[in-house]
Amino acid sequence: MNVMDSFDLTVVWSFLGLLIQLVVFGACVYYVMQKQNNDSYLLVIGSFVHLLTSLFYTIGIRVFSFMNIDIYSNRSIFSIVGFFGLIGTICFSAGLVILILEYLKLYKEKITNS
């Protein structure tokens, strides 16, 4: 059996996605430390929830499968995790929209004052 036959590339992509989520969460935490307002809180809440759901899908399912727990027969778990993921996505999107609108408002003020 070849080494490449047993190597699962999906694990690499999953952990790369987790790494990206950690970077986004770190950037959001840094933004909250610099500026405490609604958009920063929404961004950090959304990125944290998304990080948790990504951890569940990347690591949690593998742990359950190693423990011989049939998680796929209980679809309500995926519904609950999906619902929290949706809430996280809504929070992050709302924070991003507010951030963009504030930036554009400041940019217009800067242009009119120049």
Q: Tell me: the pLDDT tens digits for 3-21?
A: 455 667 777 887 888 899 9
Contact 44, 31 (CB under 8 A): yes
Q: Which amino acid is at 14?
A: S
Q: Name the token pair of 92.
A: 């992050």
Q: Which residue carries 């899908």 as its tokens?
A: 57
| Domain span at 93 | 3-113
Q: Given a cut of 70, is residue 90 above it in pLDDT? A: yes
Can you tell me the mean pLDDT for 24-44? 95
Confidence label for 58 from pLDDT (cuts 50, 70 and 90): confident
For the chain, give the mean pLDDT. 87
47 in Cβ contact with 24 (< 8 Å)? yes
Q: What was the pLDDT predicted at 1?
A: 47
Q: For residues 113 and 90, what is the distance between their CA atoms, to the nearest angstrom?
A: 35
Counting the structural domains of the chain, the total is 1
Note the pTM of the prediction, 2 decimals: 0.81
